[in-house]
Amino acid sequence: MTKLLEKLRAFSGTRAAKILHFFFGDPVQLYAVFLMMTSMYYYHEDFTLLYTLIALVLTALLMRFYDFVARKRFLGPVLYLIYLAAGLYAVSMITNYVNVRYPISFSVWFLTPQSVVDFSLGYTIAIFMLMLGFLTSTVYYFSKVRYRMVMQLLIMMIPLALYAKENLQMPALLVILLLSSYFLLMIYCRQLRPSEQVRHMGGFPTGISVALYVVAFTIAAAIIPKPPIEANREFIENAMAFSTWSDALMQAISMFTDTTDNRSATNSNARTIMTVAADEPLHLRTQTYTYYTGAEDSWTVTDYDRPSLPYKTPITYKPQDLMQAILDAAAADADFAEKYGLTDVTSLTLPEQEMQELYVNPWINFAFVPAPTRLVQIDTINDLDENAALTSHNIVAFPFAAWTSETMQYYSDTYVRYSTPMELLDRLSWENYTALLEDAQLVLLHAGLTEEAQTIWIAFLDSEDAARYAADTDLLDYHSDVIDDLAAQLTDGLHSDLEKALAIERYFTEAGYLYDAGYDKPEGENIDDFLSTTHRGVCYEYATAMTLLCRSAGLPARYVQGFLVSEEGSVGPRTTGPTYLPKRDPNYTVRSRDAHGFPEVYISGYGWVSFEPTVASDGANAAGPENQKVMRWGYVLLLLAVLAVLGWLALPWFRERKFRRDIQSMTPQACASAIFLRMRGSLRLRTSATVSELGQASAPFFTREALFPQLDALLYRQNAEPVTTVQALSEAYVLWDEERKAFIKSQKRAEKEAAKAERARNRKEN
């Protein structure tokens, strides 16, 4: 350790050491750099290394500038104000230039989740400049001018707030770096006496002790398991105005984006979105998407999905009535029944399909009304019902943001899973469904069943729309061998639409897929990777996969985003905005984290049905995926620390072997000098010790007295003929070193035996 410190002191005077100290020697400076790193990672993670390198240089320069400002009582503040004004002016110039070419202002871009906006180099540079000026100034002031670690903790909350705003997880490595640098800052700036003047501890021994302590703290903090915590954000999200402003921002952003965000479904926000009064858990849809782009791993809105075609009389029917009409046609015409394989189901008695009522009380503004798949009608929409539009895809749109629905009527998707309806639906296939409806209508009209024939006609129009949709998506949508091969495998031997859809839905559970909200999907990974290799993701991946698999199997299907209504219990009425008393007390609460993606598949004999392929999350895995990442980094650091300790322990052995190899190529005089210095250091003799004193110190364990006269002759009579060879000197040294080590071991063993005998004697006396 002493030699290491001596080498470090010697290295500290070199030019390289001064450069390293300039950039890395100040914990205050490093803390500011890590703050910049974590902040800029949020804005553009691909350039994090570049941002960090630039911040490292600029922070080092700014810290020297702040030192000058702190020393000059008058000139310093003046220069700082000039620097501040120049920086703000530069930021203003950049943002004004970008704003002309970017669809939203800098303030909206800054406050909007970065996952839903396009990257802007100009805005990002402006953010970098603002963050750099603010963070370096505050960190410097509250460490070197006024030591206030509580303020430093609040400063550390700034980058954390950026991630919390969007409920993103900060990468584990950044968490470790930020917390470790904060802990190091606390040690470095700790006052040793009650004075306003900051005093620093110095010296290599102290620095090494602090470094070891920080490393040990970091490893322990990372490895020790953290309990999963469900943070209650209700007060923050609802009592403050941030949620309303965020909703307004998202409405603004939705004006110029028609694509999904494949990370949006990982939101863990607990903010209340709406309360619902319903008789069952269900899906509420807000937007459908038609085309999937594999290169970008996103879905795109088309004319099919935009609520632009109002239907005051929506194209809908009671699914039970449609199935009953098909059964009536089969009962009325044996040839029809035989042609479509319905002979043995003509006597089925379908269970009654009750119309369900649903009440939704929104707490925020929506562009589209959240509604069930089989929506029939909406009684009132807060006096906006004349402007509301119910499209052929059952998306409800209106020109204003504020609304309150009293009652919706819908038919539940669970009806297709009842045993009796399944007996009929298992015989119906999309391949001949249109022909079946045409024939059924003729049979019913001939039998005088005009009401049933009208139901068949409405269903025929609906199927025609689904057929056009399926043809377009089959022609223009994403295709791959992975999807086609898996779809063919899963539906092999199956006939009906319902059988195929249910088989694909079951596949994800049976094949061992994993729901992982913490999975960091690499750039370029898409649904083929999910199906073939990773087998992990969130509802976005599952819904996308089932939609594309159903399309490959020949079924009309579409990707839908909305909400999953499953959390029982109500949080009560809204505390902001107008409140309307519902006809029923809400019994479900929908939060931001309940945003959900799911597929809808067109089932012959029924219509559009929502499915749920998403595998339920494993509580142990989903509760703390980021904790697991932190722990993995902790184990990596522990492994590196263990390797460093083992290397430190093995270093003397390697150094000794290197020394023995090096002296073989020396002259006898150089070999004698190296051996003498080595032996003197091993015995820890003073630097002025002579060869004679070395011999006396070696007398207890080394009896070859000829070695020391040879060393004396070679060291002090340089021009004399060598009295021995290098080989003989090196062999004598090796023997001396081995006997020294054996003597040390015997001494330690003797000391242990003496201590043991002393303890035994003390016990006997007591």
Q: Please report which confidence band the pLDDT of residue 720 belongs to, taking 50, 70 and 90 as the band edges.
A: low
Q: Answer positive or negative: Cα dihedral of 666, 671, 673, 674.
A: positive
| pLDDT > 70? residue 619 | no
Collapsed DSSP state (helix, strand, coil) of residue 398 = coil
CB atoms within 10 A of CB 642: 11
Q: Which residues pair with 299 in a beta bridge?
A: 292
Percent of the chain exceeding pLDDT 90 equals 26
**pLDDT, tens digit, 9 for 90 and up, residues 450-478:** 999 999 999 999 899 899 988 888 888 88
Greatest Cα pair distance, the chain, in angstroms, is 133
Report how many helices (DSSP H) and strands (DSSP E) the chain contains, helices first.
27, 16
Judged on CB neighbours under 10 Å (0-12, 13-18, 19+), 17 is middle
CB 337 within 8 A of CB 343: yes
Q: Which residues face 589 on adjacent strands?
A: 275
Whether 372 contacts 295, CB under 8 Å: no
Is residue 13 scored above 80 in pLDDT? no
pLDDT digits (tens, 9 = 90+) for 415-446: 999 999 999 999 999 999 999 999 999 999 99
Task: In whole angstroms, give the CA distance from residue 205 to residue 210.
Answer: 9
| Rg value, the chain, Cα | 38
- Residue 378's pLDDT band, with cuts at 50, 70 and 90, is confident
Of the chain, the percentage scoring pLDDT greater than 70 comes to 76
Task: Inform me whether the pLDDT recorded for 631 exceeds 70.
Answer: no
pLDDT at position 369: 75
Residue among 386, 391, 339, 382 at smallest CA distance from 359: 382
Q: How far apart are CA 183 and CA 218, in angstroms?
A: 9
Cβ–Cβ under 8 Å, residues 524 and 457: no
**pLDDT of the residue at 482:** 94
Query: In which residue are the tokens 């110095």 written?
Result: 202
Chain centre to alpha carbon of residue 364: 26
pLDDT score of 703 = 77
How many Cα atoms occupy the beta-carbon half-sphere of 74 within 13 Å? 0
Of 500 and 641, the structure prediction assigns the larger pLDDT to 500
Looking at per-residue pLDDT, the higher value among 640 and 17 belongs to 640
Residues 338-364, mean pLDDT to the nearest whole number: 89
Counting other chains too, the contacts that 303-306 makes at CB distance below 8 Å and 24 or more residues apart are 304/393, 304/469, 304/472, 304/558, 305/393, 305/395
What does the pLDDT average to over 191-214?
52
Out of 155-169, 221-235, 578-592, 641-655, the most confident range is: 641-655
Using CA atoms, how far apart are residues 3 and 6, in angstroms rounded to an integer?
5
Indicate whether 407 pLDDT > 80: no
Q: Which pLDDT value is given to residue 385?
A: 45
Is residue 310 predicted with pLDDT exceeding 70?
no
Residue linked to tokens 């000098």: 673
Tell me how crowded residue 685 is: count the other CB atoms within 10 A of its CB: 15
Domain ranges of the chain: 2-220, 242-623, 666-765
Instruction: Give the residue carrying structure tokens 């006597």.
Output: 347
Residue 370's identity, in one-letter code, is P
pLDDT of the residue at 400 = 33
Q: Confidence band (pLDDT; 50, 70, 90) for 251? A: very low
DSSP letter for each residue of 590-614: EEGGGEEEEEEEEETTTEEEE---P
- Quick check: 310 and 389 in contact, CB under 8 A? yes
Most confident of 150-159, 188-197, 468-477, 574-583: 468-477
CA distances from 78 to 92, 130, 140, 144 (A): 21, 19, 17, 19
Looking at residue 271, its pLDDT comes to 72
What beta strand segments (E) does 604-711 contain? Answer: 607-610
For residue 402, pLDDT over 90 is answered with no
pLDDT band with cut points at 50, 70 and 90 for residue 615: confident
Consecutive H or E run containing 643? helix 625-662
Return all residues near 334 (Cβ < 8 A) that are at least 6 apart: 343
Give the contacts of 513 (CB within 8 A, at least 6 positions apart).
535, 536, 542, 615
* Residue whose tokens read 């057929």: 467
C-beta neighbour count of 100 within 10 angstroms: 6
- What integer pLDDT is reported at residue 618 of this predicted model? 56
Tell me the pLDDT of the chain averaged across its residues: 79
CA distance 629 to 585: 42
- Measured CA to CA, the distance from residue 401 to residue 364 in angstroms comes to 9
At residue 584's C-alpha, the angle toward residues 581 and 587, to 5°, is 110
Backbone angles phi, psi at 230, to 5 degrees: -95, 100
Confidence of residue 336 (pLDDT cuts 50, 70, 90): very high
Summarize the confidence of residues 191-195 as an average pLDDT.
44
**Where residue 8 falls among pLDDT bands split at 50, 70, 90?**
low
